[in-house]
Structure 1
């Protein structure tokens, strides 16, 4: 009974996109591990940007630095 947890930042992901994530993750478990889709659970957690960090910094700050590096 697979349990798949997907964590994403809360940035306007649509219901259709979530539906595709659930279907795709389930299909991957069926194809790769021969799991039963009826007993495969997928949970999507949306995390506020204030609660997400990367590279030791808040993600908003990290993204700004990445954008400046690309444009500069």
Structure 2
């Protein structure tokens, strides 16, 4: 029974996008590893950007300091 955990920041990901990720990961496991879709579990965990950090700061702080233009 495959179990896949996907962690993403909680900002702007739609329900449809998450459904597509679940579908495509399931299809990949079936195609590559012969895993049955009915036994495959995919969990998407959404983490607030205040709770996700790297380079010594939160993602919220990091994004606030960047110029996206």
Verify same fold: TM over 0.5: yes
Structure 1 stretches lacking a partner, 5+ long: none
User: Which whole-Å CA distance do the structure 2 matches of 1:24 and 1:45 have between them?
Assistant: 17
Shift of 1:27: 1.1
Shift of 1:64: 3.9
TM-score, reference length from structure 1: 0.81
User: Which whole-Å CA distance do the structure 2 matches of 1:14 and 1:39 have between them?
Assistant: 25
Counterpart position of 1:38: 38
Structure 2 stretches lacking a partner, 5+ long: none
TM-score, reference length from structure 2: 0.84
User: Which whole-Å CA distance do the structure 1 matches of 2:53 and 2:31 have between them?
Assistant: 32
Shift of 1:50: 0.6
Structure 1's consecutive aligned runs of 4 or more residues displaced over 4 angstroms after TM superposition are none
RMSD of aligned C-alpha atoms? 1.6
